[in-house]
């Protein structure tokens, strides 16, 4: 489904790329003020996000200069909005319940809401995510996650 071509800089992909780049750059400033070991992963992820945003901007601008038809970005805006709500809700729950408890709730919830219905698969995916996060961050990097206001791990 095509729409009328908007101005080159007002295309959704370009605006999203610009927004992601600015947001990642904003978070990079405080991340770089952390100790070297603590800043390594967040800084690397933010720089990677900035690079992906630049790639998206360049790709979209090439499409615009080639006068390719403009495609609707959000074919399911409810799902996109729902994903943002779930990310925000997860952050609030991490503050209240702790990282591991919140993640154990939200990994299967998000997968189920996006259409994956196998309860066995949801359980396996949740366990894999929690074990991987614990191994990488808790054991390999000696980082602690928030326990939450209620003292849950």
Q: Maximum CA pair distance of the chain? A: 56
Q: What are the phi and psi torsion angles at 2 (to 5°)?
A: -105, 160
* Whether residues 40 and 103 fall in one domain: no
* Whether residues 79 and 149 fall in one domain: yes
Residue 64 has pLDDT above 90, yes or no: no
Q: Which residues pair with 71 in a beta bridge?
A: 2
Average pLDDT over residues 98-125: 92
Domain span at residue 15 reads: 1-73
Higher-pLDDT residue of 143, 124: 124
Tell me the pLDDT band of 10, cut-offs 50, 70 and 90: confident
- CA distance readout (Å), 98 to 63, 80, 95, 103: 44, 25, 6, 9
Instruction: Report how many domains make up the chain.
Output: 2
* Whether residues 38 and 80 fall in one domain: no
* Whether residues 101 and 139 fall in one domain: yes
* Percentage with pLDDT > 90 across the chain: 31
């Amino acid at each position: 489904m095509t729409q009328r071509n908007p101005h080159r800089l007002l295309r959704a992909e370009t605006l999203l790329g610009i927004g992601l780049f600015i947001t990642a750059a904003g978070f990079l400033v405080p991340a770089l003020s952390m100790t070297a070991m603590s800043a390594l992963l967040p800084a690397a992820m933010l720089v990677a996000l900035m690079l992906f945003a630049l790639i998206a901007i360049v790709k979209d601008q090439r499409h615009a200069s080639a006068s390719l038809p403009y495609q609707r970005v959000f074919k399911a805006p409810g799902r996109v909005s729902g994903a943002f709500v779930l990310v925000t809700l997860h952050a609030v729950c991490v503050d209240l319940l702790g990282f591991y408890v919140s993640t154990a709730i939200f990994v299967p919830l998000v997968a189920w809401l996006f259409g994956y219905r196998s309860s066995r698969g949801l359980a396996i995916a949740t366990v894999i995510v929690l074990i991987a996060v614990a191994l990488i961050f808790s054991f390999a990097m000696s980082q602690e996650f928030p326990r939450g206001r209620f003292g849950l791990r």
